[in-house]
Amino acid sequence: MSEKEKNVRTEYAGRLKAYRKKANISQEAFATAIAVYQPYIASVEAGGLSIGIDKQEEIASCFGVRYYQLGDPDFPIPSREALWGSIEAYVKAAGIEIGYLKSKTPGLASFMDELLQSDFFLEWRLVTEVVAELMDRFGLEVVPMRVSDILNQKPRNLLIEVKKVPKERFNLYRLKR
């Protein structure tokens, strides 16, 4: 990436990723610690999502630093041990149950596979329809972005056709014929 293409989001994304990597914590585990979904962390780390100051402060607090220190490229990243201590203290202080997010979408891939084996995908379906069906059949609360991610990953993407709909936020999906 050239200097011209860098912006505040991509610089912040790089710093966040550096902190997370130094702490040796996965995106999913970090997302659980701050009570968000993993795709949210992935979007922030990709520089594609602009986050507010409150969320920046929450992320920084989890690492045991101030929001302005997290974004400062000249501020040294604390040791792995210090980061882990801060993450554990943050999780305990916030009273966050570690399994919180996993219980909201337990084994989503297996439920999606079951849905793919049914007759549900014989017709074109919007992601919002898939979300509603997952709720009706399995009682799962899932965000549309997570469903899109699962459907676009192998081996599911080999089983379905994707159709882009003009002026729609989400694609249409159906089983390949």
One digit per residue, pLDDT tens: the chain, 177 residues?
455 556 888 999 999 999 999 988 888 888 888 888 888 899 899 988 889 899 999 999 999 999 999 999 999 999 988 998 898 888 878 776 554 444 444 567 888 888 999 999 999 999 999 999 988 988 877 888 888 888 888 888 889 999 988 877 778 999 988
pLDDT at 13: 93
Q: Same domain, yes or no, for 8 and 75? A: yes
CA distance linking residue 152 with residue 146, whole number of Å: 10
- For residue 45 the two structure tokens come to 């780390």
Q: Strands across the sheet with 160-163, in order?
A: 125-126, 172-175, 160-163
Q: Same domain, yes or no, for 54 and 86? A: yes
Strands 172-175 and 160-163: antiparallel
Helix, strand and coil in the chain, % to nearest 5: 60, 5, 35
- Domain edge (last residue) among 86, 101, 116: 101
The total domain count for the chain is: 2
Q: Provide the residue range defining the domain that includes 169.
A: 105-175
Calculate helix-pair angle for 108-117, 127-138, nearest 10 degrees. 100
- For residue 148 the two structure tokens come to 């899109």
pLDDT at 5: 56
pLDDT at 92: 79
pLDDT at 2: 52
pLDDT at 36: 84
Nearest to 85 by CA among 33, 161, 26: 33
Q: Same domain, yes or no, for 160 and 119? A: yes
- Domain edge (last residue) among 101, 132, 166: 101
Neighbours of 118 (CB within 10 A): 11
- List Cβ neighbours of 5 (8 Å cut-off, separation of 6 or more): none
CB 49 within 8 A of CB 9: yes
